[in-house]
Structure 1
Amino acid sequence: MPLTRSRLGLLLLGVLFTFLLYLLHGQRSAGTRADEASATARTRMAAAEPPVFCREVPAGPRGSGTDGSRRPDVLLLHGQAFTSKTWEALGTLALLAGEGYRAVAIDLPGYGDSPPAEMVATVQGRVAFLDHVLRTLGMQRPVLVSPSMSGRFALPFLLAHGDQLSGFVSIAPVGTKDYTAEQYQRVQTPTLILYGDRDTRLGSQALQSLRHLPVHRVAVVPDAGHACYLDKPEDFHRALLGFLRHMK
């Protein structure tokens, strides 16, 4: 009888031990599934990219540059008081389309019809945003046009990924003093430094910084202020087309 009780006790201990192992394994599996689900959610959130509103006038027959190469696309950003509609109202999109360029103007996050995006709160986020725009629009090495406030997007992108651009058109962009002469000197992207002669603050400031870019031209729009494209649209368009036509 004592032996029987002993065997029964051992059997019960074995059953209890097996049950505890089962519970422990279940908790670990649930934790693993929860971690995997959390990782998936983080990946989806990180991969989420903001919608971007853009305007584009269908381009005419594709032209070619002076060396017979395909004309580059043109991506137009905007200043703080403006949106993509500015380039439509000025006739810039239609003018470029008529010359055979594919030109697209976008609303930056939080402006016009583009919703705000948390990613553009940092320099790295703004660089990633422009990279996302180029990929979404299918633009390979476009010319980037950047007036005023949009310099916060364009300048760090130029310094980090200048090889992804065929050219850069700066229109008194902000933020030029944030970078050193040595940083600018490493950029090989052909650049047009464009500003109005009455823009004595940002225009001259941008010139002093951007003149360190190794490949650049300077165009001054006479009798024009900070938004020189609004004050003298014909002169602005002439300078822009002149730069585009002489690009290799």
Structure 2
Amino acid sequence: MNVLNFIHAFFSDGSHWHGYDGIPTRVTEHLRYSLEALALAAVIGLPVGLVTGHYGRGGNVLSLIATAARALPTFGLLVLITVIVGFSLQFVMIPLVVLAVPPILVTTYEAVRSVDPSPVDAARGIGMAEPRILLQVELPVALPLILGGLRSAAIQIVSTATIAAYVGLGGLGRYIVDGLYQHDYEKVVGGATLVAAMALATLGVFWAVGRIAVSPGVRRSA
């Protein structure tokens, strides 16, 4: 059978649409893992990137941290954590967050640093406080690049969250792991197709968010 036949066989099988191992259940689990990891990474990366970018300090340190975090093997880190502390969803989040923080952190820093200094100087000239300058002047202009960093992190998380299945948790990775163990390549291809579809859907969501959140003037100049 070729790949298209595997895909058709997987999605046309009614047993894959019901129960604890059904597609709706696995998609919901995968989406929950991904959203939780992205939210945690954003809580860490966005404030640090915004503040350091605004004040123009710590860029070299951020680059070193980001490089070190990217060098960590996500799967190896997951296995190590599991061996040390056991099976738990909260510990599965750690390698996913470590994976997602660098693109958010570095892109946010660079986005704020790339804002034209003229309106920033004008805002200071009329007496605006630094937090207001960051949130009302720099952030709206930097938002397209910031969303780009969040999008990159989200795609990486969605693609990598399949590792949760290796430590006994759910998500779309269950189809891949179980399919390989059972030599059921229909299930493997179906799971991989669902992960790819979710990654494409993530791109669409961020495109829509950008159209809504970014002002037309900033979007045109970007």
Identify the TM-score tier after normalising by the shorter chain: under 0.3
| Greater Cα radius of gyration, structure 1 or 2 | 1
Which one has a larger percent strand, Structure 1 or Structure 2?
1
Instruction: Give the structure-1-normalised TM-score.
Output: 0.23
Instruction: Give the structure-2-normalised TM-score.
Output: 0.25
